[in-house]
Amino acid sequence: MSTISAPEEQKILETVPKQLYIDGEWRDGSKGTFSVEDPATGETLVDVADASEDDAKAALDAAAAAGPEWAAYPPRERGEILRRAFETIIKHEDELALLMTLEMGKPLKESKAEVAYGAEFLRWFSEQAVRIEGRYATSPNGQGRLLTMQQPVGPCLLITPWNFPLAMGTRKVGPAIAAGCTMVVKPAQLTPLSMLMLAKILEDSGLPKGVLNLVTATSSGETMGPLIADPRLRKLSFTGSTEVGKKLMAQASDNLLRLSMELGGNAPFIVFDDADIDSAVQGAVIAKMRNIGEACTAANRFHVAGSVADEFAEKLAGKLGAMKVGRGTDDGVEVGPLIDDNQRSKVSELVEDAVGRGAKALVGGHARDGAGYFYDPTVLTDVPDDARLLSEEIFGPVAPVKGFADEDEAIAAANDTEFGLVAYVFTSDLKRALRVCEKLETGMVGLNQGMVSNAAAPFGGIKQSGFGREGGPEGIEEYLETKYVAVNL
């Protein structure tokens, strides 16, 4: 049973803009429309505008034209636009959470958490807008002065994935606005509705025309390729798969664009024998099941000290097996559907591969029959080293548990991946905690906690998880250039 009525769902779907937002105007897409589906039912929610190459070019024209005026706009006013948008989002968090659950599938409670997290980037960067600084120094030889200033990079292209429909956008839009950059935003085709609402909220918050232009499209390569090649573009910030990120980086090299690449992950979750096992299990539930396992930060493999591995796996199986699976709008649901049939097939394939090589399912291990793309929460033990899910991003509710003999083996196993986004470590030994954190090859570590996301912290990876940081004081630097003036004095 759902506490949300069909008319309530209808109302929010009617409110969301469905056109392209270019130069302060909502307009139709030249290629007609495409459908956005509810992953819990497979049914169409609404149709939104499908942009052509010319529409995308018009969006960049608008961003380029608005650039100089926006760069000179008072930082305080740029910050206040962001602050007003933050407050509007919080005021409407229930409606925005419902919209997100409809397009992406996650349970309402999690959507609400993402709405709050996403809004927080707007508040954080509203505060950073007035803290863009330079410096003035005496040259070491005493003859002259060194002056530095920070200036907006210029028109940016911001491309976001489907898994966090709002927060992946606000992490880029917030600092770009605060820094004085104009932008073209392209949300994922599967979940464009939250970003369309964000564009409307920013418009209503007083964002001048042309600063943010939003393009929804079925053909991302065709529409985005010409923008990446356009000399007026100065930066590309991409969140998505490593595969697509590499392609875009190659395209961006012709134009020598500034780049931020927030790519895939394969997070190890390490539990030492001195850890509080119950709190490690609690952290594991969050690190694994947040966003139905469809998070770049999702714990992909659990490396647990041999002496406590069985206890950990059984307790985790108990928790995951008890989670209620269903449509995200239904009461008490903790696990929604996966985003589409492709994603669910990939998860099934990885589990079948592991089981085929000897892994055992303590709980789950199956897709659900019927409408929607549901997959049962799964815990696997006896996972052999060559099982594909240890080296590939699972992006689903599946937890493989493996034992280790000592600290060195745990670190080696954790680092045995081409990815380097995040790792989780559970231990009650402070020296060991810091020693292990230093040795992990990742951009972030969750120490005795299953979540790292925080608008005030620098989020990002190393190795094949990309580069660049979103959030924290570092987040705005991605949108600023440093100019040095040699002063003859």
Catalytic residues: 262, 296
User: Which is nearer to ligand NAD, 60 or 281 (by Cβ)?
Assistant: 60
β-bridge partners, 380: 361, 400
Give me the least distance between CB of 452 and ligand NAD, in Å please: 11
**Closest distance to ligand NAD from the beta carbon of 443 (Å):** 9
Q: Where do we find the tokens 């910050």? A: 79
Residues that bind ligand NAD (CB under 6 A): 159-164, 168, 186, 188-189, 220-221, 224, 239-241, 244, 247-248, 262-265, 296, 393, 421, 461, 465
| Minimum distance, C-beta of residue 259 to ligand NAD, in the bound complex (Å) | 13
Residue of closest CB approach to ligand NAD? 240
User: How far apart are the C-alpha atoms of 448 and 279, rounded to whole Å?
Assistant: 8
Distance CA(297)–CA(319), nearest Å, equals 20
SS (H, E, C) 286-315: HHHHHHHHCCCCCEEEEEEEHHHHHHHHHH
* Cβ 265 to ligand NAD shortest distance, Å: 5
Cβ-based nearer residue to ligand NAD, 164 or 272: 164
User: Is 59 within 8 Å of 184 (Cβ atoms)?
Assistant: yes
Cβ distance to ligand NAD smaller for residue 209 or 247 = 247
Question: Which residue number, 427 or 465, has a Cβ lying nearer to ligand NAD?
Answer: 465
Please, what is the minimum distance in Å from the beta carbon of residue 84 to ligand NAD? 26
> 189 or 282: whose CB is closer to ligand NAD?
189
Pairing of strands 378-381, 398-404: parallel
